[in-house]
Structure 1
Amino acid sequence: MRRHNFKKLQIWKEAVELIDENYLFTATLPDYERYGLRTQMNRCSVSIASNISEGSSKRTDKHFVKYLEDSLGSAYEWETQLAVCYRQNFLSEESYLNLESKVQKLQSKISNFIDSLDSIN
């Protein structure tokens, strides 16, 4: 198996874009969420891209898939935290729907990539 160049993977590129949008959003959260939602969402968003890149270094697709699944888990966790922010009125419905759509598209692409690697093996 050849190792994947994570910088060329569309899922990694989109995950990094989500990090940028996440940091812009979390900077607007109330100060009392500095060590709560803000920190957790920042860590989750970075985890999505980081697991993709770390997994790309693994020797087999089977091992890479494990990291992709971790990345997917972080994406679902981030989506839940986004929903909490919306329910707490920390962002508008328009912003919520925009970010929710982006993370759901990314989740779908990561899932499809996992399926494609599974079908090869």
Structure 2
Amino acid sequence: MELSLLVYQITSTFPKEERFGLTSQIRRCAVSIPSNIAEGSSRDSSKDFSRFLRISIGSSFELKTQLLLSKDLDFISESDFDAVVEALNEIQKMLNSFIKKMNAEV
């Protein structure tokens, strides 16, 4: 959830005309990652949980793409971009490891 908070801080400086565009989309992606993990953890099967973890990974790649666009549009600094991408890379590694472990147990 730290990533979501960081994304909210960064996007608070985006242009007002992006409020319902890129800002909203980026924030929804950032919130989607932990939300899908939480929802998946409530499922009865490892297969279901794994599916939600893969959705979280997809959201993380979507977020990375939107942040790259934001950087190219000069909405986000290089240092903020690097900080978020570093966190995203770590989250992706953890999710992939968790999925592999769950699949090995099945």
Q: TM-score range by the shorter chain?
A: over 0.9
User: CA RMSD, aligned part only?
Assistant: 0.7
Give, in whole Å, the separation in 1 of the partners of 2:10 and 2:77: 11
Give, in whole Å, the separation in 2 of the partners of 1:66 and 1:28: 34
The 4+ residue runs of structure 1 with deviation greater than 3 A are: none
The one-letter code of the counterpart of 1:69 is R
Q: Residue 98 of structure 2 corresponds to which residue in structure 1?
A: 113
* Aligned-pair CA distance for 1:47: 0.6
2:33 is the counterpart of 1:48:
yes
* Aligned-pair CA distance for 1:93: 1.2
2:15 is the counterpart of 1:37:
no
Matches within 5 A, 1:20-99: 20-99=5-84
Gaps of 5+ in 1: 1-15
Percent of residue pairs bearing the same amino acid type: 37
Give, in whole Å, the separation in 2 of the partners of 1:44 and 1:91: 16
Q: Residue 12 of structure 1 corresponds to which residue in structure 2?
A: none
Paired residue total: 106
Give, in whole Å, the separation in 2 of the partners of 1:34 and 1:86: 16
The one-letter code of the counterpart of 2:79 is E
* Aligned-pair CA distance for 1:19: 0.6
Gaps of 5+ in 2: none
